[in-house]
Structure formats: structure tokens, C-alpha cells
């Protein structure tokens, strides 16, 4: 199996993780509002389950399966007169399990006493930077990030490890901000994009449509369902070699895409939970071989009370 193909499944998982945190929601119809209280803390668990199947014809077929669990604490320090909230975002836990081509496996648990080994050891500086970060942010009552300021030290740590640079590009800067917007349920009407060294640049907008209550007596809160359309452009040739580095997919094309899910905003004015499911099939060529990569991912976000 060509090395470039063996990396394709892994990099699809990397961009899938970035896609889930990188497509900030736009809310249709009349906007809902957060109800912030000084001293209040919101703890959310985000579980990403991803399966990538790559068909490379005579070169072989292979699968990568990954599951990542992240716990995020959003602490409210001050509520301003117009309803916005100033606070801190902290990532408290990261757990990753991944099975990859060639029999490779990776297990990482930030709460484990055992030292990471293999691929997990190479990625551990990236995870450590995320776990150490305390990011100041100001959020409007509509969930818009008015201020999001990771420190220069945090950004340097996220992008400063050559072996993981291709993956760190997904979480540093704009990627890290977009992860926060997934938690705050932001309604900023702005396009989003994810850049990946193998698959290329994927662009799109995610729109959460408000749905009518299931019954007239339903007062549990607001319910939303997603819709999304994506486009893809080829990636430039890489300038360095890293863990996730490889020749880019040429002539990439999105063959199929579908999205479904639901989100609930409770009567107390908080995002209670959401489920987002996407199926994406991309075709192209790697090292002269025609390949098709199918990604199936579910992202569940749950407020921990």
C-alpha cells in the first residue's frame, strides 16, 4: 500500500474532527438568547465518533475509526448591561481512541497516569497545550463571540511541534475559536472553512433551523435541525514532512454529502444538547491512484449538570 494512501484515512479523520468544531452554526428565524448569571459555569461533553473508509482499487481498501471525548468548562465571570458575558473557556479532559491502517492504534487519556506511547506520545504536546489553556472570551446573549483571546504562548505551543503541525492547524487560531462557537451556539452569519494538507480546503455553512414544538403543551425549550452544503478545493503541495504530511489529493470532488441531527435550547436559556451527523464522500487521486474516501461522523454535545 503506498504511504500516501495509508495517510489518507488518518488525515480524513483529522479534518473530520476539525469540521465538527469548525462549522459554526447560523440560526434561522428569530434568534434565541442565552440567560447568563455571574458565577455560573457550563460544563459540556463533546463526543466525536468518526469512521473513514478508503477504497483505492487495486492498491487496497482500509478503514480508520476514531472516537474523541472532550470536556469543556465555560465559566461566567461578569454579565454586562446588554446581556453579554465575560468568562473563561477551559478544556478539562481529552480522551482519544483510534484504529488506523497497517494495524496502528492510538489511545490517549489526559486523566490516565500512564505515559502516552507511539502516535499518542507524538500528539501529547498538542493535547497538553489545549489542556493548559485558559482562554478569555466575551459572548453576547445570542451566542456571538465578541472576544476570544488565546494567549500567544498557547498559540505557539499548538503550532510549534513539527510532527503534529498539520493537525494543530485545525485547532490553533480560527479553529480553536470555532470550537468555542460550537459550545456557545453562535449565530454569526459568516462562512467557515477547513484547510487540510491532503484533502484540500472544505468550505460551507451550517444552518440550524428552528422547528415547531411537537405539541402545543411542549414548553421544554427550542428545538433545531441542521442543514449544510460543502464545497472542496485541492490543497497545495506540502513544504515539509510531518506525521500527517503527504501528497495532496488531486482533483478532489465531493460525490455525496448528507447531514442530519438536532439541538435543544432549554427554557432556562442554555444549550442543553445537540447531535450532528454528517456523511461525506470525496473522490480524487493520490500518487496516480484513484481513491474514494467516505467519512461518517456523529458529534454529540451534552451539558453536564
DSSP code at position 103: G
**pLDDT value at residue 289:** 85
**Which pTM was predicted?**
0.81
Q: Is pLDDT at 235 greater than 60 in this prediction?
A: yes
Cα–Cα separations (whole angstroms), residue 214 to 105, 112, 219, 221, 301: 44, 43, 10, 11, 22
In tens, the pLDDT along 40-80 reads: 999 999 998 999 898 988 888 889 899 999 999 999 999 99
* Domain interval for residue 69: 3-304
Q: Are 168 and 161 in contact (CB under 8 A)?
A: yes
Q: Could you tell me the CATH number of the domain that includes residue 185?
A: 2.30.230
Q: Which residue in 13, 12, 14, 20 sits closest to 179, CA to CA?
A: 20
**pLDDT value at residue 171:** 57
Confidence of residue 239 (pLDDT cuts 50, 70, 90): low
Contacts of 69 (CB under 8 A, 6+ apart): 45, 46, 47, 48, 93, 94, 95, 96
Beta bridge partners of 79: 85
Q: Looking at residues 261-289, what average pLDDT do you find?
A: 88
**pLDDT value at residue 39:** 96
What nine digits make up the cell of 59? 492498491
Confidence of residue 19 (pLDDT cuts 50, 70, 90): very low
Phi, psi of 109 (to 5 degrees): -140, 115
Between CA 187 and CA 206 the distance in angstroms is: 10
End-to-end CA distance of the chain: 47
Task: Please give the residue that has the higher pLDDT: either 241 or 252.
Answer: 252
Q: pLDDT exceeding 70 applies to what percent of the chain? A: 75
Between CA 202 and CA 191 the distance in angstroms is: 11
Phi, psi of 174 (to 5 degrees): -60, -35
Between CA 13 and CA 51 the distance in angstroms is: 8
Cα–Cα separations (whole angstroms), residue 274 to 41, 141, 167, 208, 229: 18, 19, 25, 11, 19
Q: Looking at residues 6-34, what average pLDDT do you find?
A: 53
What nine digits make up the cell of 258? 448528507
Between CA 46 and CA 276 the distance in angstroms is: 11
Confidence of residue 92 (pLDDT cuts 50, 70, 90): very high
DSSP code at position 144: -
Q: How many domains does the chain have?
A: 1
Amino acid at each position: 500500500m503506498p504511504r500516501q494512501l495509508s495517510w489518507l484515512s488518518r488525515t480524513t479523520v483529522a479534518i473530520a474532527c476539525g469540521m465538527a468544531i469548525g462549522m459554526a452554526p447560523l440560526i434561522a428565524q428569530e434568534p434565541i438568547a442565552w440567560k447568563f448569571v455571574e458565577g455560573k459555569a457550563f460544563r459540556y461533553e463533546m463526543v466525536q465518533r468518526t469512521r473513514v473508509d478508503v477504497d483505492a482499487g487495486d492498491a487496497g481498501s482500509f478503514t480508520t475509526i476514531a472516537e474523541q471525548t472532550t470536556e469543556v468548562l465555560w465559566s461566567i465571570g461578569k454579565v454586562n448591561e446588554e446581556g453579554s458575558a465575560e468568562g473563561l473557556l477551559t478544556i478539562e479532559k481529552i480522551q482519544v481512541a483510534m484504529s488506523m491502517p497497517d494495524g496502528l492504534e492510538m489511545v490517549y487519556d489526559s486523566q490516565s497516569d500512564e505515559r502516552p506511547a507511539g502516535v499518542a506520545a507524538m500528539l501529547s504536546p498538542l493535547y497538553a497545550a489545549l489542556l493548559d489553556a485558559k482562554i478569555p472570551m466575551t459572548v453576547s446573549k445570542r451566542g456571538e463571540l465578541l472576544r476570544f483571546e488565546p494567549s500567544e504562548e498557547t498559540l505557539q505551543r499548538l503550532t510549534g511541534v513539527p510532527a503534529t503541525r498539520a493537525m494543530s492547524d485545525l485547532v490553533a487560531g480560527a479553529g480553536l475559536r470555532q470550537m468555542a462557537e460550537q459550545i456557545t451556539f453562535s449565530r454569526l452569519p459568516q462562512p467557515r472553512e477547513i484547510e487540510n494538507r491532503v484533502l484540500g480546503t472544505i468550505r460551507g455553512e451550517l444552518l440550524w433551523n428552528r422547528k415547531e414544538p411537537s405539541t402545543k403543551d411542549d414548553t421544554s425549550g427550542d428545538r433545531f435541525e441542521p442543514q449544510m452544503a460543502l464545497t472542496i478545493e485541492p490543497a497545495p503541495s506540502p513544504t515539509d514532512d510531518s506525521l500527517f504530511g503527504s501528497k495532496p489529493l488531486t482533483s478532489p470532488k465531493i460525490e455525496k454529502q448528507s447531514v442530519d441531527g438536532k439541538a435543544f435550547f432549554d427554557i432556562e436559556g442554555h444549550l442543553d444538547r445537540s447531535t450532528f451527523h454528517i456523511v461525506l464522500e470525496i473522490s480524487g487521486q493520490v500518487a496516480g491512484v484513484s481513491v474514494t474516501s467516505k467519512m461518517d461522523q456523529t458529534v454529540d454535545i451534552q451539558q453536564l449538570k
